[in-house]
A and B are shown apart, each in its own frame.
Chain A
Amino acid sequence: MQRQTIAELSRQLQDGSVKSRDLVERCLTAIEGPGRQLNAFVSVCGEQALVAADAADELLKAGRAGPLTGIPFAHKDIFCTTEVATTCGSRMLEGYVSPFDATAVARLREAGVVLVGKTNMDEFAMGSSTETSYFGPTGNPWDLHRSPGGSSGGSAAAVAAGLVPAASGTDTGGSIRQPAALTGITGFKPTYGRVSRYGMVAFASSLDQAGTLTLTAQDAAMLMEAMAGFDPRDSTSVDRPVPVYTDELNTSLAGKRVGVPREFFDEGLDPDNEQRVREAIAVLEGQGAKVVEVSLPNLGLSVPTYYIVAPAECSSNLSRFDGVRYGHRHQGAADLESLYKLTRKEGFGAEVKRRIMTGAYVLSAGYYDAYYLKAQQVRQLISEDFKRCFAEVDILAGPTTPTPAFLLGEKTDDPVQMYLNDIYTIGVNLAGLPGISVPCGLVQGLPVGLQLIGPHFGDTAVLNFAHVYQQQTQWHCLMPAPTGTPDAADNAGGAS
């Protein structure tokens, strides 16, 4: 299947050379056909999508369409949608149909985007490989035996394989940027608070941020103009005007300063991956940007800090799953406490249970100061490191991941090994900064990403740098060869 950007499709929809119905039908055919072996989708809403596409075509015909009208789209299955189930990759929410829409979903629908389905993800977004999903792992379109990364792995695989032009994701510790890097697409995580968290199933509330998985930075900018903005229903939503991101995409990089944190190139980074990232930084330099070395001395502490803060917040957020009001319920419990305990035993998978228990432990009586308070202090130190850098530079550049995509099953039995893989992305969440991963080449035939990080509300600059880079390079146009054979589908699916 041919991949096309939102920008290209939007032009074709506006000039009448293509209909939204055609685009949606093409997506549905791809999802149900060659896409099946990826297990990228948890649900598909074909009938509703065709109705929405016809409505979009009416608006286009009447000349009342916006730039996103009629564009097929997929939401990560963490966003509540009224038209189709929201499972969050968990048995706990199997079959759950939300009575309300997430704000991001409502805003994109209002902008005319057509929802075709919901994508697979690590259970409750806890994972970096999409292997913790109750609905089975997602395959990487570049190599079906490899992980597409996670937790937004279904969205990343779907966009990389051309099943949909774009999809939403959420990023708590790298869950948009890492899968984007490992599947060769563009993953944008805005500044914390930019996109409403309302209706986005909560994992770690002080870290969670919604964003986009697209082919280009330009497409991310187009989506952000619809998704971003103040929402009174999210107490941490930021009340600041939303910039016109697409206006600033072509701003010259001449005289801008790019900081390269030396800790991003320490031991652990694959030498070929490093080479690709250094070449990408040279492209920015070629556009007139000045490259300087900077330091994030506490970066190495970001993984342990995250694995206190995130589990603590998750143990609190996931206490709502009690078997009473919604979600899975154990049948036949003798008393209320057993109802809670057995419901949660059956409803949650192994990684989610580990994180809930880690959180319960670090918050328990006598340990709070030693763990949670300490982690909040180190979080401050990490955040100050970034602030010091941004006093000197406009943007930070480095790798998104230490290596290209790993094999499915390679790290599933060693949670700490899996956690350490997120070393370059987690600090950005702790500090609440905007970040993007853009494809910057191949390592052993697999894509790797350049990560660009901006200061708070530097989303425009991040998208500008990424767009200018993509105007100079073709890595974002590389797509995986059609993979596998039809019978490979049997291996990809199945509930774990």
Chain B
Amino acid sequence: MALYPTDVRQIAHLARLEVSDDEIADYVDKLSQIIDLVDQLQQVDTGGVVPMAHPLDMSQRLRADEVSEENQRELFQRNASAVTDGLYRVPKVID
């Protein structure tokens, strides 16, 4: 299935990726090729087949809801580029 430039812009928005106008043609071309590749699956009869979410037959492990990690805010925030008073800084969200 061929994608159109409008599709690529919509997908890029969903993925929160900025795509400039001069990149669109290349994405249309290559993503269309990838979608063509995966479209082969449409020919397969999968009636009654249980979807496989995980390679091993195992269920999600649960644990008691107890504090197991200490707060290491300063250590973790060392990798952030903008921090003030222990809070992450982002552009203004609410007027």
Contacts and interface: CB of A to CB of B under 8 A. Distances in A.
B79 interface: yes
Chain A residues touching B, majority SS: helix
Nearest to B76: A99
Interface in B44-76: 44, 46, 49-56, 58, 60-61, 63, 72, 75-76
A325 B79 contact: yes
Contacts, number: 170
B33 A415 contact: yes
A3 interface: no
A345 B49 contact: no
A315 B4 CA distance: 21
Q: How large is the interface on B (under 10, 10 to 19, 20 to 34, 35 or more residues)?
A: 35 or more
A319 B14 CA distance: 10
Given A341-B18, A357-B12, A456 B56 contact: yes
Contact of B91 (A97, A335, A357): A335
A349 to B, nearest CB: 12
Given A305-B41, A357-B31, A430 B11 contact: no
A307 B18 CA distance: 23
A310 to B, nearest CB: 11
A232 B64 CA distance: 12
Interface in A281-340: 298, 301, 303-305, 307-308, 315, 319, 322-327, 329, 333-340
Interface string B79-92: 11110000010111
Contacts of A353: 15, 17
Given A345-B17, A415-B30, A361 B91 contact: no
Interface of B: 7-8, 11-12, 14-19, 27, 30-31, 33-42, 44, 46, 49-56, 58, 60-61, 63, 72, 75-76, 78-82, 88, 90-93
Interface of A: 96-97, 99, 191-193, 206-207, 232, 235-236, 238-239, 298, 301, 303-305, 307-308, 315, 319, 322-327, 329, 333-342, 344-345, 348, 353-354, 356-362, 364, 370-371, 373-381, 383, 415-416, 419, 430-433, 456
